[in-house]
Structure 1
Amino acid sequence: MARSGTRIQAVMAEIRSRIVSRTCLPGTRLPSVRAQARAMQVSVSTVVEAYERLAAENIITSRPGSGFYVAGPVAPLALTQLGPRLDREVDPLWVSRQSLEIEAAVLKPGCGWLPADWLYEAGVRRALRTLARADTPELTEYATPLGHPELRRLLSRRLHGIGVDARPDQIMLAESGTHAIDLICRFLLSPGDKVLVDDPCYFNFHALLKAHRVQVVGVPYTPHGPDVSCFEAALREHSPRLYITNSGIHNPTGASLSPVTAHRLLKLADTSNLVIVEDDIFADFETSAAPRLAAFDGLERVIHIGSFSKTISASLRCGYIATRGDWIESLADLKIATTFGGGRLASEALLIALTDSGYRKHLEALRLRLASQMQRTIVRLESLDIRPWLVPQAGMFLWCRLPPGSDAADIARACLTDGVILAPGNAFSQSPDAGEFMRFNVAQSADERIFEVLGRALEGR
């Protein structure tokens, strides 16, 4: 009986999966009971029972003499059902959810942010005390469509310091860096479009692009930026609409774009309709500024975005978009349509924190602390025969190759049972060798228990 029940549930799960992934839309005729039985190698009676149960749940309907059909309305979009089925442990959304939801006692060398006591807590507290005494509109009103004018003027000056010439009226505030990319995708993409990403890349790029129903094409990333020959081939073969990348410090590799590679990329982009989205979220970690595509391009086909969640506070949700003036108005309309006025309080607090006399000292101390922890983490990982792909000039990430014969997803699963969340390479890349790599956040890797758990997992592989 248990076996029969399991088979019936398997058929029901398969049909639900097709409906949730929108492979089967309302009104779609399901395979006949005999065809479904052959496809899943079960008995006809098993499929009949599964279909009847689904009909009882109003998920499908029976039309006598015709068959079974998907009932309406269209199922809510479930991102985990799109694309190839992966082990949940190596799915980008799983990594994010575990890092965000799990209790504080769990160790998180796989997460993408600093420990709470490494952030600019003192500056945030001073900003909030200042705002508590502010006029009522600062605490209660919507923001203007482009966002806080003085913060945009400050961002304009900061961008000028890295060679990006963006006037305040070419800058729009968003709710976060991710929200900025989402708005750009809504503005420029249609379902089925092709989008280039680095391989490997920040795993949430994959998740966000999946939500926009576009086709993602990976371009191998090198220590100096994307492989230019592969980039050229991808432009020729796929005619992509967007290329999304990190500037400054790359996630997950920690690499920096070279000037030669930047110039060659832009020269190739000039021959196409490609728009480049340059995510500069790690700018304040740099000890010396790497080239920015937006600086070379003058914001003609490059859109520059960023936020301060990595250095000031992830609770102050505020990002920005810097782009050509004729695109700002349309992006502002999209922002109103999706978030209306935006958050005013966060931008006010962020402006105060950024202009606080202590922020520069905070960054200097933070960079030194990261550099020191980077070296300690490298030494500790190398004792386990885990080698960095490169030693970054700055930042918090190490992209590492595991010992021969290791599988990153298996190691991550084993460590999870011992309270350590890792970020296996499979979440960042769909390449065949992705399972040989792991991303480590050095700021979250100070606890010796991480390496004890990791060592046991490697021994048991």
Structure 2
Amino acid sequence: MSEHNKTGQVMAVIRRQIAARALTPGMKLPSVRLQARLSDVSTSTIVEAYARLAAENVITSRPGAGFFVAGSIAPLDLTHMTPVKERDIDPLWISRQALDAEDGKLKPGCGWLPSDWMYEEGMRRALRKMAREPASTLADYATSANSLPLRQLLVRRMANQDIKTQADQVMLTESGTQAIDLICRFLLQPGDTVLVDDPCYFNFHALLRAHRVNIVSVPYTANGPDLVAFAAVLQAHSPRLYITNSAIHNPTGAVLSPLVAHQVLKMAEEHDLIIVEDDIFADFEHRPAPRLAAFDGLSRVIAIGSFSKTVSAALRCGYIAARAEWVEALIDLKIATSFGGGRLAAEMLLQVLTDSGYRRHLEGLKLRLAQAMKNTHERLQQLGIRPWLMPPAGLFLWCQLPDSIDAVELARRCLRDDVVLAPGNIFSQSGSASTLMRFNVSQCSDERIYRSLQQALSDQLR
């Protein structure tokens, strides 16, 4: 590598550290000699890099004292808090590609149902009912914990999963993501360690980076987290929090076994670990899977969820179920960060969930997903793409690509055809899923997806 390129690399690393606030205004940079050793380059390369950064007013030189970060604090930039990646395969960029997709762009890598699979009829009925509500429902702030009738309904729904709770242990949030964000604000300090599954929902990584915590991962098996690895991580890293899906794991589709659940809870008790159990896919189940929150009784497990996957992604309403004293503190935190909750959304959701047609909608949706799972499995197998396991329910197939083909390159190639894929390593903290891919079966009916995949696979095998 040329000296010019080495200099540019050193400058890029320092800029990323400033953007991520690892280096803050006024902080002294390592000496030229120390920085050369840390960067494995010559001192002349560091001298040149520092001189150019000073010319750009990124750093300043104080004669006899050294080099210091200049200017005011940099805005938080999540894209610079991890190693540089191509933006078309970065986790946040994948989300933006899917969210901002124009008509005609295909989204087999996204995490939600097509709009015409959602409960549109029930939403329209609820909107008509809401139009007749008193002015206070349409215009006032919600109460601090938000709708009591909806929280009572959630208590009854959780009872069907053997989770025993009360309305004062439940609070409403704007989404499942806000629920995790509030919990992280409540329980974590910068520098704490958080455990996630490998693979796991990729936005967990981005959200946790925003909280400036250390992320460690444990391999996820067909029955839950690998227990040997789980024990080793607890011993080595003493994580404060573990975030997981127990029922219909994202992205694998696996289901936690009772044996693994009990072992996880036993180790959590021994190591004072708090568990966040994200139950966003509950309504896709054909029969309830084991829940950590049920076995634990919401002692050190916090259950969260929302209805963006089955009712409407436009209706932002989630929930947290936890110890009553934790819920009290979380309500204060929610008021401090967002003040009043979404009263209109909560009242709308209550109308939808108690609508006589919602159960029929779910039964039809589960049948439709089962057929889509079968069809997608068959089409992918024709291309040599095979599932890691066949999930009992849900949206996702976690698949192994043929001939060790790199999923990132495949995603980049298919993006040229307006096909947004989700390569495995965006879900993997360890980077061990380079030949895996997540497919959303509800978004895989278009023949153009398979044509694009076939051409991309052929290109890579040449």
Which secondary structure state, in structure 2, belongs to the residue aligned with residue 303 of structure 1? strand
- 1:16-35 to structure 2, matched below 5 A, reads 16-30=15-29
Match of 2:288?
289
CA contact (8 A) 2:7 2:46 kept: no
Q: Return closer, same or farther for 1:121/1:62 CA change in 2, 3 Å cut-off.
A: same
Match of 1:254?
253
2:55 to 53, 56, 60: 53
**Corresponding letter in the other structure for 2:418:** G
Match of 1:192?
191
Which secondary structure state, in structure 2, belongs to the residue aligned with residue 438 of structure 1? strand
Q: Return closer, same or farther for 1:459/1:288 CA change in 2, 3 Å cut-off.
A: same
- 1:133-172 to structure 2, matched below 5 A, reads 133-172=132-171
Which secondary structure state, in structure 2, belongs to the residue aligned with residue 220 of structure 1? strand
Separation (CA, whole Å) in 2 of partners of 1:37 and 1:303: 47
Q: How many positions carry a matched residue from both structures?
A: 456
Does 1:424 pair with 2:426? no
Deviation at residue 31 of structure 1 after TM alignment: 5.5
CA contact (8 A) 1:37 1:47 kept: no
- 1:215-234 to structure 2, matched below 5 A, reads 215-234=214-233
Match of 1:328?
327
- 1:289-328 to structure 2, matched below 5 A, reads 289-328=288-327
Match of 1:395?
394
Q: 1:55-113: CA deviations, max 9, x gaps?
A: 2xxx3334355454212322121111113333323321111111111212110000000
Which secondary structure state, in structure 2, belongs to the residue aligned with residue 329 of structure 1? helix
Q: Return closer, same or farther for 1:163/1:49 CA change in 2, 3 Å cut-off.
A: same
Deviation at residue 12 of structure 1 after TM alignment: 5.1
Q: 1:227-283: CA deviations, max 9, x gaps?
A: 112112212221111111012110000111111111121122221210111000000
Deviation at residue 392 of structure 1 after TM alignment: 0.7
Deviation at residue 46 of structure 1 after TM alignment: 5.3
Which secondary structure state, in structure 2, belongs to the residue aligned with residue 192 of structure 1? coil
**Corresponding letter in the other structure for 1:378:** H
TM-score, with structure 1 as normaliser: 0.94
Does 1:241 pair with 2:240? yes
**Corresponding letter in the other structure for 1:319:** G
Deviation at residue 32 of structure 1 after TM alignment: 6.4
Separation (CA, whole Å) in 1 of partners of 2:188 and 2:50: 42
CA contact (8 A) 1:90 1:426 kept: no
CA contact (8 A) 1:11 1:50 kept: no
Deviation at residue 43 of structure 1 after TM alignment: 6.2
Match of 2:443?
444
Separation (CA, whole Å) in 2 of partners of 1:219 and 1:397: 20
Deviation at residue 193 of structure 1 after TM alignment: 1.2
Deviation at residue 214 of structure 1 after TM alignment: 1.1
Q: 1:283-338: CA deviations, max 9, x gaps?
A: 00001110111111111011000000000011111100001111111111111111
Which secondary structure state, in structure 1, belongs to the residue aligned with residue 23 of structure 2? coil
Deviation at residue 159 of structure 1 after TM alignment: 0.6
Q: Return closer, same or farther for 1:174/1:7 CA change in 2, 3 Å cut-off.
A: same
CA contact (8 A) 2:50 2:59 kept: no
Match of 2:409?
410
Which consecutive residues of structure 2, in runs of 5 or more, have no partner in the other structure? Answer: none
Deviation at residue 378 of structure 1 after TM alignment: 0.2
Q: Percent identity between the aligned chains? A: 61
Which secondary structure state, in structure 2, belongs to the residue aligned with residue 435 of structure 1? coil
Separation (CA, whole Å) in 2 of partners of 1:285 and 1:47: 55
Does 1:124 pair with 2:123? yes
Which secondary structure state, in structure 2, belongs to the residue aligned with residue 360 of structure 1? helix
Separation (CA, whole Å) in 2 of partners of 1:388 and 1:440: 10
Which secondary structure state, in structure 2, belongs to the residue aligned with residue 310 of structure 1? coil
Separation (CA, whole Å) in 2 of partners of 1:341 and 1:287: 36
Does 1:76 pair with 2:75? yes
Separation (CA, whole Å) in 1 of partners of 2:285 and 2:114: 18
Separation (CA, whole Å) in 2 of partners of 1:208 and 1:432: 18
**Corresponding letter in the other structure for 1:262:** A
Does 1:378 pair with 2:377? yes
**Corresponding letter in the other structure for 2:187:** L
- 1:82-93 to structure 2, matched below 5 A, reads 82-93=81-92
CA contact (8 A) 1:95 1:423 kept: yes
Separation (CA, whole Å) in 1 of partners of 2:355 and 2:153: 13
Separation (CA, whole Å) in 2 of partners of 1:20 and 1:63: 22
Deviation larger for 67-76 or 103-112: 67-76
Deviation at residue 431 of structure 1 after TM alignment: 3.4
Separation (CA, whole Å) in 2 of partners of 1:182 and 1:237: 25
Separation (CA, whole Å) in 1 of partners of 2:12 and 2:324: 49
Which secondary structure state, in structure 2, belongs to the residue aligned with residue 338 of structure 1? helix
Q: Return closer, same or farther for 1:187/1:115 CA change in 2, 3 Å cut-off.
A: same
Deviation at residue 166 of structure 1 after TM alignment: 1.1
Match of 1:457?
456
Which consecutive residues of structure 1, in runs of 5 or more, have no partner in the other structure? Answer: none
Deviation at residue 213 of structure 1 after TM alignment: 1.1
Deviation larger for 85-94 or 447-456: 85-94
Pairwise CA RMSD of aligned residues?
2.1
Q: 1:368-409: CA deviations, max 9, x gaps?
A: 000000000000000000000011110010000000230011
Which secondary structure state, in structure 2, belongs to the residue aligned with residue 28 of structure 1? coil
CA contact (8 A) 1:425 1:438 kept: yes
CA contact (8 A) 2:199 2:427 kept: yes
Q: Return closer, same or farther for 1:61/1:24 CA change in 2, 3 Å cut-off.
A: same
Which secondary structure state, in structure 2, belongs to the residue aligned with residue 373 of structure 1? helix
Separation (CA, whole Å) in 2 of partners of 1:213 and 1:48: 27
Q: Return closer, same or farther for 1:391/1:32 CA change in 2, 3 Å cut-off.
A: same
Deviation larger for 83-92 or 396-405: 83-92
TM-score, with structure 2 as normaliser: 0.93
Deviation at residue 212 of structure 1 after TM alignment: 1.0
Separation (CA, whole Å) in 2 of partners of 1:6 and 1:357: 65
CA contact (8 A) 2:397 2:440 kept: yes
Match of 1:354?
353
Q: Return closer, same or farther for 1:11/1:231 CA change in 2, 3 Å cut-off.
A: closer
**Corresponding letter in the other structure for 1:335:** K
Separation (CA, whole Å) in 1 of partners of 2:7 and 2:267: 54
